[in-house]
Amino acid sequence: MIKNNEILLRPAMSFAFLKVLPLIVLSLAFLLPAWYLSPFFLIFGFAFMAGAWYRLLYIRSCSYLITPEEIKTGSGIFFRRTDYMEMYRIKDYIVTQPLMLQVFGLMNVTLSSTDVENPVLLLTGIQVSELIETIREYVQEARKNNNIYEIN
């Protein structure tokens, strides 16, 4: 259940398609010789297509739930993994937009933290938004609520 101050994000479908495009092209490259040369190439074509389908489903199964207290990331199809990162542990925010992501209005967000298990959290293929400002406000509020002060 999502409340008013929670944000649920998923990688965009266009991002997932960009990630599986090389596998789709490779499968088509094997399906064409199967038509003209030998049906043996069908095995490789279907194998790469199955790999592309699985990767597409895996990317789309990722979810990022941002609350004022923590960020919860989930991924996986057959084996689901959920990671939690407390807001007060976040130290730095990096937004990257390679050319292809800029074309589709997407961004990658990298969050650095003091967490020992997950020092870096990557939110990939999300829509361009004011997410960093929201996370920054949540971090400041969490640090104030937990009486955590940064000393450099």
- Helical segments of 62-130, H only: 99-103
Assess contact for 73 and 13: CB atoms under 8 A.
Answer: no
Instruction: Say if CB 97 and CB 109 are below 8 A apart.
Output: no
What the block records as the tokens of 35 is: 């038509």
Residue 111 is assigned to a structural domain of this protein: yes
Task: Please report whether residue 103 resides in a domain.
Answer: yes
Range of the domain at 20: 7-145
On whether residue 73 sits in a domain, the answer given is: yes
pLDDT of residue 71: 94
Report the CATH number at residue 90. 2.30.29
Predicted confidence at residue 132, as pLDDT, reads 93
Query: What pLDDT, in 10s, does the model give residues 58-110?
Result: 999 999 999 999 999 999 999 999 999 999 999 999 999 999 999 999 999 99
**3-state SS class at 112:** strand
63 in a structural domain: yes
Distances (CA, A) of 126 to 50, 54, 149: 25, 20, 30
Question: What's the total number of domains in the chain?
Answer: 1
- Residue 1 belongs to some domain of the structure: no
pLDDT of residue 112: 94
Q: Is the dihedral of CA 110, 111, 116, 118 positive or negative?
A: negative
